Amino acid sequence: MNTKKWLAVGTCVSALSMFSACSDDNPANPPDPGFSSSSVIAPTSSSDNGSSSSIDNPTSSSDISVSSSSVVNPTSSSSNPEDVVVDPNATYMGVSEIMYNAPKGSTLEWVEVYIKSGPDINDMLGNKLRLDGAVSFSFPPGSLKKGQYVIVTNDVNLFKQTYPSLPASCKVYGPWDNDPKTGTVAKLVNEGDVVEVKLKGEGDVSAAFSDAPPWPSLANGKGHTLVYRGSGSEASANSWGPSAIENGNPCVGDDKVLEASTIRLNEIKPYDLGVSDGWIELYNYGDAPVDVKGWELESKRKDKKWTVGGTSTVVPAKGFLVLESSDAVFGEGLFLSDNGDEVYLYEVAAGTRTGKETSLMIATGKQSSGVVDLPGGTTAQGAMASETKGQANSALKAGPIFISEIHYHENEQDLNDVEFLELVNKGTENVSLVESINNTPQGWKIEGVNMEFAAGDAIPAGGKMVLFSDSLKSKESMLRSRFNIDESVVIRFYAGKLSNRGETVAVKKPYAKNADGSGWFYQLSDATLYSDRWPGMTDADGKGKSLNRKDFTTMGYGYNNWTIADPTPGK
């Protein structure tokens, strides 16, 4: 099989080879850092889409924001990092369907894999085809042809019982590998993670899933699977939708996906007792007005629903509608708490939900929360730096903890090199990474690498923390020597794996627990969706360089917020 090559098209370069020679980066056999002393390193978005192009000037390091102007204009094909030319002679893998939370208490989980483009695979084992990330599985000998689908599940017998009428070409494998922490078959965490498909040891596609906004709630234990819509990055929620068929449709191509709503929960202001009643702003990115009368709004935190009524319920095309929470439009009045929430708006027709929905995560605090647009049709949610009631959104707050360096693909020529993340505290106060909520301790998390902090973990004001794979826990002293990390810099370890292809990595702070006690609500301190397709940054893709943050006035979305340099963890 041919070595894969991506040709990235951008404004700074005409064509960049995005892959070097393939090598096996199996985390089960990590390179041993520190054995070689010679390897030690010395010290834009348009105004009619609900997001404006302005950015607030933060007055302190704890009030930092991101706007759609800080990323590449998604309408500009010449500067879009997703504009790539695919080698027709190479094989590219895809993930087309995920069941991460089966309905009715079933423990069944599965991932559907296929050849997205290129030639057939004559031998899956010989070509090192495997799953990594949220779950691990090495495929056995055997061929995989274009148009054929492969299922990898936690329980083969339960899968076949659930889907007794599978196509003859369907291949079902499992169970996937055991979780090293529990010794039992690994589980797809409902809160979200990344499934990576690797070919010849290289990350070929990274497919994300999550139960939080803006991911579709119907795939979260409500009888539907997540289905890839056929375009866009598999790491983005915008590229996925709930299956039109209950329980999904494994091993069948061109799966039907429930249509998305053109109405967006664009900004929500929680109530502040004695000051204001709060409001909800809807944005319609469609070409026709939409009447939301009769639609249902749901608060996950309060476990309560409201029906939209009243007379002013039409959202104009490419326009806004502000619903005051105390208005008769909500009958008894809608009061969304400033303690944070996950809010969903469902389309209702003839008294029945259609499956179309929009959702928004409300951050804890008095400020409003909203959505900004990012390159390639993706979006980001979070607390707003300033309220923009009835207008295009401006900027998201971020910080004080930021992702400052990402070494996501080890140097192919340096057997001692390892991946890592670096965090920095840009605030003026020390930050404990465990919160006490109703006398219950809960750690901050790093989405994308399966990391949760424990008691005593903290980052001092202006300080840094370096995160490595937990397969290297016993080699902390070697890591410090390898990268010349000062003893004052804290090192911690994560259970997951950074995708060589690109994925969302987010720093999340817990602020509340679900009403039913089943899980926690989180708000973002920082996030990025990095990519090996970022133009001008190919040397971070297995060639010895890392992504280094150059702009802390925004969240980490967009390649113009990063530069490439030698790895300097803890510096």
Domain with residue 296: its CATH number is: 2.60.40.1260
Q: Quick one: 288 and 170 in the same domain?
A: no
pLDDT of residue 8 exceeding 80 = no
More confident residue, 333 or 425: 425
Whole-number pLDDT of residue 377: 65
Q: Quick one: 225 and 276 in the same domain?
A: no
Q: Does residue 162 lie in a domain region?
A: yes
Q: Quick one: 422 and 518 in the same domain?
A: yes
Residues 315, 308: Cα–Cα separation, whole Å: 13
Domain that residue 354 falls in: 261-395
User: What digits encode the pLDDT tens for the residues 366-404?
Assistant: 889 999 887 666 788 888 888 999 998 877 888 999 999
Q: Does residue 38 lie in a domain region?
A: yes
**Structure tokens that stand for 80 in this block:** 């879009």
What average pLDDT does this structure show over 496-503? 82
Residues 209, 240: Cα–Cα separation, whole Å: 9
What average pLDDT does this structure show over 62-70? 32
| Number of structural domains in the chain | 3
397 residue type, one letter: K
pLDDT of residue 91 exceeding 80 = yes
Q: Does residue 86 lie in a domain region?
A: no
Write the CB contacts of 170 (distance below 8 Å, at least 6 apart in sequence). Answer: 148, 149, 150, 151, 250, 251
Most confident of 161-165, 384-388, 435-439: 161-165
Q: Quick one: 305 and 225 in the same domain?
A: no
pLDDT of residue 304 exceeding 80 = yes
Q: Quick one: 409 and 391 in the same domain?
A: no
What average pLDDT does this structure show over 433-448? 92
What average pLDDT does this structure show over 76-85? 38
Whole-number pLDDT of residue 1: 32
355 residue type, one letter: G
Q: Quick one: 409 and 556 in the same domain?
A: yes
pLDDT of residue 9 exceeding 80 = no
**Structure tokens that stand for 441 in this block:** 């301790």
Q: Does residue 55 lie in a domain region?
A: no
Q: Quick one: 121 and 235 in the same domain?
A: yes
CB 191 within 8 Å of CB 211:
yes
Q: Quick one: 206 and 300 in the same domain?
A: no
More confident residue, 21 or 213: 213
- The domain boundary, picked from 379, 395, 411, lies at 395
104 residue type, one letter: K
pLDDT of residue 113 exceeding 80 = yes
- The domain boundary, picked from 395, 428, 459, lies at 395
Residues 277, 328: Cα–Cα separation, whole Å: 13
- The domain boundary, picked from 395, 430, 449, lies at 395
Whole-number pLDDT of residue 64: 33
Q: Quick one: 295 and 177 in the same domain?
A: no
Whole-number pLDDT of residue 272: 61
Whole-number pLDDT of residue 11: 24
Q: How many whole angstroms from its chain centre is CA 450? A: 12
pLDDT of residue 19 exceeding 80 = no
Q: Does residue 72 lie in a domain region?
A: no
pLDDT of residue 71 exceeding 80 = no
Nearest to 220 by CA among 249, 196, 191: 191
Most confident of 15-24, 174-183, 455-464: 455-464
Whole-number pLDDT of residue 376: 60
- Span of 3-17, 34-48, 329-343, 381-395 with lowest mean pLDDT: 3-17
SS3 content of the chain, % helix, strand, coil (to 5): 10, 35, 55
Q: Quick one: 151 and 214 in the same domain?
A: yes
More confident residue, 12 or 569: 569
Q: Does residue 166 lie in a domain region?
A: yes
Whole-number pLDDT of residue 53: 33
Q: Quick one: 272 and 380 in the same domain?
A: yes
More confident residue, 74 or 461: 461
Q: Quick one: 367 and 405 in the same domain?
A: no
pLDDT band at 84 (very low <50, low <70, confident <90, very high): very low
pLDDT of residue 245 exceeding 80 = yes
Residues 34, 484: Cα–Cα separation, whole Å: 11
Q: Does residue 363 lie in a domain region?
A: yes
Whole-number pLDDT of residue 27: 36
| Bond before 400 cis per omega within 30 degrees | yes
pLDDT of residue 537 exceeding 70 = yes
User: What mean pLDDT value characterizes the chain?
Assistant: 81
User: Each residue of 222-261: b (16+ CB within 10 Å) or e?
Assistant: eebbbbbeeebbbbbbbbbbbbbbebbbbbbeebebbebb
Helix count (H) and strand count (E) of the chain? 2, 40
pLDDT of residue 444 exceeding 60 = yes
Whole-number pLDDT of residue 63: 34
SS3 402: strand
Q: Does residue 290 lie in a domain region?
A: yes
Whole-number pLDDT of residue 413: 82
Write the CB contacts of 560 (distance below 8 Å, at least 6 apart in sequence). Answer: 70, 71, 72, 551
